[in-house]
Structure 1
């Protein structure tokens, strides 16, 4: 596990009780199907998905979750039709321009993980500015995964280890975790995927080694605070062992 390795929400061998996960990751899935079911362009599905993300951020902050990571744009999404990619990047640009003041006011710190340079210099500057403006936020740490892929992240970390000439004898899990884009962040306690699909899709592969998974049969644009509460409730009922055998 990475540097801030073991989640603090529940101890091995104990029931979660009413524990709130420290770090929640969400694979926001179903925008396209939501739009198709309504005879709308996929771009409007993504716009509705952005509204759902806003609700989820607010709900996470209200629930006392310390870290929230949203999977917004995967490295594989670049292979989608050009008009859809254009719509997605346009939404990112709009969000960065319109929401930063709200994030600052609400005490939410924004960080972007993934290959941000692929979005071009204008969007990279907007990302850098948003991260700087929200850096003092303490209420919620919001990570947004953009042009992100778990395998690519692990490969990039391995390359850094080689470039830094790290001694293989000293390269343990904690040292490797510090080479990842999530350095300094706790590993996720809970991974949620919407739309009924049940797979990770290359999301936080290293970091999710001991995460609990909750799959919810709701399309992302329809996601409400109650759905997050249901996932947290399911998490609280789990017995987390981290590979330790129950007594």
Structure 2
């Protein structure tokens, strides 16, 4: 079965190339993450402004804890800024903000900031922005299975639909399109369940070089795709 569609419901962005961008410009890694943060807001808000209902961004994976303590600290500081200082931007654009991933290992300050930001934007209707923070596709599926086991469901009653209902933010639909920057061509543990039939797009630019013009290109390119679902 194939399907021609004009606009994706859910676009997932694998935010890649911040450190590479910094190195190319002779700057410390932190400057790359700061530049990436500035692009993140522009690209995600433009994606939603153009009518996409869900835009998700892979901002910190479960594997990123392996980076230096200094770099992790800078990243957490930027994420805290998104969750605190930038909430008025989401309110202005009528955008609901959610954070998916494990809360384990996050500071109490960050956890409380997540709760406040989600609560303040809960009833906004202009699209949903999902930050994948301390997120891993394997962990998401494992956590879903744990919830199912704890609920007492028998093995015979486990279905793909039941697993989907127990993912993080289960009402968020599968990714129609996953975009990765920096020229790398892999999913890196992003949205593994929701990526089953995603269209994939790999862009040579490093993430800090992304602009709202790239959103137009991405959505126009998506229109040309003839989606196939195995039928």
Equivalent residue for 1:202, pick from 172, 184, 189: 189
Asked whether the equivalents of residues 13 and 240 of structure 1 are also in contact (C-alpha less than 8 Å), the reply is: yes
List 4+ stretches of structure 1 deviating above 6 A: none
Structure 1 residue 95, shift from structure 2 partner: 1.8
Show the counterpart of 1:32.
19
Whole-Å Cα distance in 1 between the matches of residues 169 and 113 of structure 2? 20
1:21-49 Cα shifts (integer Å, max 9, x gaps): 11000001000000001111100100000
Show the counterpart of 1:173.
160
1:75-94 Cα shifts (integer Å, max 9, x gaps): 00000011000000011112
Asked whether the equivalents of residues 59 and 131 of structure 2 are also in contact (C-alpha less than 8 Å), the reply is: yes
Whole-Å Cα distance in 1 between the matches of residues 49 and 222 of structure 2? 17
Show the counterpart of 1:9.
none
Provide the TM-score with structure 1 as the length reference.
0.91
Structure 1 residue 165, shift from structure 2 partner: 1.1
Show the counterpart of 2:64.
77
Structure 1 residue 157, shift from structure 2 partner: 1.2
Structure 1 residue 133, shift from structure 2 partner: 0.2
**Contiguous gaps of at least 5 residues in structure 1:** 1-11
Whole-Å Cα distance in 2 between the matches of residues 164 and 114 of structure 1? 21
Equivalent residue for 2:225, pick from 234, 238, 243: 238
How many residues are paired up?
231
Residue 52, structure 1, aligned to residue 39, structure 2: yes
Show the counterpart of 2:145.
158
Show the counterpart of 1:65.
52
**Contiguous gaps of at least 5 residues in structure 2:** none
1:130-178 Cα shifts (integer Å, max 9, x gaps): 0000001111101000010001111111111111111222211111111
Asked whether the equivalents of residues 117 and 124 of structure 1 are also in contact (C-alpha less than 8 Å), the reply is: no
Show the counterpart of 1:148.
135
Whole-Å Cα distance in 2 between the matches of residues 182 and 235 of structure 1? 25
Residue 229, structure 1, aligned to residue 216, structure 2: yes
Q: Superposition pairs for residues 105-144 of structure 1, below 5 Å?
A: 105-144=92-131
Cα RMSD for the two superposed structures: 1.0
Corresponding residue SS for 2:105: helix
Whole-Å Cα distance in 1 between the matches of residues 87 and 3 of structure 2? 39
Residue 182, structure 1, aligned to residue 169, structure 2: yes
Provide the TM-score with structure 2 as the length reference.
0.97
